[in-house]
Every structure is written in structure tokens, then in C-alpha cells.
């Protein structure tokens, strides 16, 4: 199969970034009764660490993203989640949860309508139905998670969240909840196609060559890793964390503070989503559902991000032709008209 350069470049970048950000411990972590997360011994080599995280992601185990982090990094993320929950305004978060539940209800109704008329569905309808089932699965995971309650969100444990709700979200994404990613049908199965080779290694640094075997002709990419708190992580991540994570923390908490101080823009956007959901609930066919969704999504994008809505095809106006009168109409000759030599006088 021939892959376009744009898709090929996107895939290469995707795996380069992902492999650079995910390294998982061999035995995983567990959380006993205390608040201290206890992890098994980390892999001895950088290539072993990367192979472990790839295997975890291939099994759609999102907790691999947490287990790769050094303990101090985990503490930073957990503290941010706690502080963010403390600053969230319940009066603004509850309408968001209500909108998610409404979206789940509307999606379920549309899927049920399709099931009742599936015998008459065409290929396009069946494709849309499969996408909506994945969206329904995604919304169900969100509505039943710790995110539906600010009190639970303030007590959220990152490892347990990723191992529970996170894995359900990943399962929905693998079924196409966000549509075509440009990375193939089963994104997570592709992690099994990545080959890792250890090129250089010292006590605290290593260089890996990473190659995706399903893309013939692609050259292996090299990535530098360092050991931080007995965890092998990308050198770029180790260098960026001390300066970049504080900025992420500042931005997240500023968003929560802004939401509490000025909730109306947030509520206005939720009302716009509610309006689109009402329109979708009124549709009678999949063709109408698709049209309403496309129009509504463009409307939201224009309202939220200033995105220009593409011009709709303009209809051609057909002039109305009136039947000729039974009596000829005499046309008055303009004063400036010049008669041809052979034209008879009028």
C-alpha cells in the first residue's frame, strides 16, 4: 500500500513523540492502603523499558503512561489534579456533566433508531452507526467516571483513573470515537510493529534506534534516554520537565480560576452544544443526522475559534419566463438609433 508523504510524516512524528514520552516499569505499580505508590523495580536498560511500554499500549493499558514517570514527576501530576479539583467551580462543572449526559442520551437514541431500520441502511449509514457506537461508548465512560463529580475529582488517584476510566476511553478511541486518525484502523495494534534496538548505553544514558516495520523504506530514528530516579525517560523530557510542567500547571489553574470568576462564556458554549444536541435529537434519518452534525459543528467552530464557515454551494436562479402576450408589443425606437442602408423605414 502506498502511503502519502503527509500521512507518513504524521505517523513517524506520532511514534517519535509517543516513544519519547512513554516508558513503563516491568512489573507495574500498585497502591496499598497508604498514599504512597509502590512500584516494582524499573527495567535495567532503556530498550527494555520502551519494549514494555509498547506492549502495554498494544494491550490498551493506559496506566503505562503513568507508570513510566519517575516518582517525583508522578507527585507533580497528582498535586496538579488535586489543586485543579479544589479550584473548580461546582456550579460551572455540573452543567458540563449534564451536557455530557445529554450527549450520551441523544447518541444512544440515534443508534437505537439505526438498529430499528438497519435492514434498509446503506454502507455510509453503517459507517456512521459504527462511529456513533464508539462515541456512545466514550460518553458512557466519561459520564460514569470520577469526572462527573467535583468531590470525586478532588480525590482522584491518577493511577487508578488511568487503569479504569482511562482504559475505557482508550477502548472507545480504538473503535473510532474520534473518527479517522490517519494512522490506520487499529492504532494500538500498531505498537506491536515497532522495533527497538539499543545502540549505546552507559550507567545513566542510552541511545535507541526505533523502527516501524510496517512502513517499508522508513529509516530508523534515534532517541536519547537518561535515567532519572531509576526510570529511563527521554532526555528531552528530563530537560523540559523542570521548566515546562510549571507552565502547564499555571495554565491549568488559571483556567479554573477564570472559570470561577467569569463562568458566563463557559455556560454560553454549553448552551450552544445543547442546541445542537436538540437539533440532532429531532432528526429522522441518518442523512439528516449527518447534515445537522456537519452544519452544527461548523457553527460551533466559527463561534468558538473564529473559523470561517465554508461557503455553501449557491443555487442557480432560474428566471421566470412569462408567456408572450397575444398582442405584439411595439418597441419604441431610440432617438440615437441608426438605420442600416437596407433596413426599411418604419
Tell me the DSSP string of 259-319.
Answer: HHH--HHHHHHHHHHHHHHHHHHT--SHHHHHHHHHHHHHHHHHHHH-PPPPPPPPPPPPP
Check residue 238 and give its pLDDT: 95
* Whether the predicted model's global pTM rises above the 0.85 cut: no
318 assigned to some structural domain: no
E strand or H helix at 132, and its extent? helix 123-143
Contact (Cβ atoms closer than 8 angstroms) between residue 62 and residue 162: yes
Cα 62 to Cα 47, 163, 173: the distances in Å are 20, 6, 12
The enclosing H or E element of 197 equals strand 194-201
Question: Which has the closest alpha carbon to 15: 282, 234, 274, 247?
Answer: 234
Question: What is the total count of domains within the chain?
Answer: 1
Residue 264 lies in a domain: yes
Q: Is residue 113 in a domain? A: yes
DSSP β-bridge partners for residue 198: 208
Indicate whether 170 belongs to any domain. Answer: yes
Question: Does any domain span residue 184?
Answer: yes
Paired with 233 in beta bridges are 226
21 by Cβ neighbours in 10 Å (0-12 / 13-18 / 19+) ranks as middle
Q: What is the pLDDT of residue 40?
A: 52
Per the rule left: phi > 0, alpha: psi between -120 and 50, beta: everything else, 274 is alpha
CB-based contact 212:187 (threshold 8 Å):
no
The residues of the chain scoring below 50 in pLDDT are: 1-38, 181-185, 313-331, 334, 336-341, 343, 346
- The answer as to whether 332 is a domain residue is no
Residue 273 resides in a domain: yes
Residue 180: per-residue pLDDT: 52
Domain holding 41, by residue range, is 5-298
Residue 197 has which C-alpha cell?
534496538
- pLDDT, residue 309, reads 53
User: Is residue 326 in some structural domain?
Assistant: no
Helix, strand, coil percent content, the chain, rounded in steps of 5 = 55, 10, 35
Amino acid at each position: 500500500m502506498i502511503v502519502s508523504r503527509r500521512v507518513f510524516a504524521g505517523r513517524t512524528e506520532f511514534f517519535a513523540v509517543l516513544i519519547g514520552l512513554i516508558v513503563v516499569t516491568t512489573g507495574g505499580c500498585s497502591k496499598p492502603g497508604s498514599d504512597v505508590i509502590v512500584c516494582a523495580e524499573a527495567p535495567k536498560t532503556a530498550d527494555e523499558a520502551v519494549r514494555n511500554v509498547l506492549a502495554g499500549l498494544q494491550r490498551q493499558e493506559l496506566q503505562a503512561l503513568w507508570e513510566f514517570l519517575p516518582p517525583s514527576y508522578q507527585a507533580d501530576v497528582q498535586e496538579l489534579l488535586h489543586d485543579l479539583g479544589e479550584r473548580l467551580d461546582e456550579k460551572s462543572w455540573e452543567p458540563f456533566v449534564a451536557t455530557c449526559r445529554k450527549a450520551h442520551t441523544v447518541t444512544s437514541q440515534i443508534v437505537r433508531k439505526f438498529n430499528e431500520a438497519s435492514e434498509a441502511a446503506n454502507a455510509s449509514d453503517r459507517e456512521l452507526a459504527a462511529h456513533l457506537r464508539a462515541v456512545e461508548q466514550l460518553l458512557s465512560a466519561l459520564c460514569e467516571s470520577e469526572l462527573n463529580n467535583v468531590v470525586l475529582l478532588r480525590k482522584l488517584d491518577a493511577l487508578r483513573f488511568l487503569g479504569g476510566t482511562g482504559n475505557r476511553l482508550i477502548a472507545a478511541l480504538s473503535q473510532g470515537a474520534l473518527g479517522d486518525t490517519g494512522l490506520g484502523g487499529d492504532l494500538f495494534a500498531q505498537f506491536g510493529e515497532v522495533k527497538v534496538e539499543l545502540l549505546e548505553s552507559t550507567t545513566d544514558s542510552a541511545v535507541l534506534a526505533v523502527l516501524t516495520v510496517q512502513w517499508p523504506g522508513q529509516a530508523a530514528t534515534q532517541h536519547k534516554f537518561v535515567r532519572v530516579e531509576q526510570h529511563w525517560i527521554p532526555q528531552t523530557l528530563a530537560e523540559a520537565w523542570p521548566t515546562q510542567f510549571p507552565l502547564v500547571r499555571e495554565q491549568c489553574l488559571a483556567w479554573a480560576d477564570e472559570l470561577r470568576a467569569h463562568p458566563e462564556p463557559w455556560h454560553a458554549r454549553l448552551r450552544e452544544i445543547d442546541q445542537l444536541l436538540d437539533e440532532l435529537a429531532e432528526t429522522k434519518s441518518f442523512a439528516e443526522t449527518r447534515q445537522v452534525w456537519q452544519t452544527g459543528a461548523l457553527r460551533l467552530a466559527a463561534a468558538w475559534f473564529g473559523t470561517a464557515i465554508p461557503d455553501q454551494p449557491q443555487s442557480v436562479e432560474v428566471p421566470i419566463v412569462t408567456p408572450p402576450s397575444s398582442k405584439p408589443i411595439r418597441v419604441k425606437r431610440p432617438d440615437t438609433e441608426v438605420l442600416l442602408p437596407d433596413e426599411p423605414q418604419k
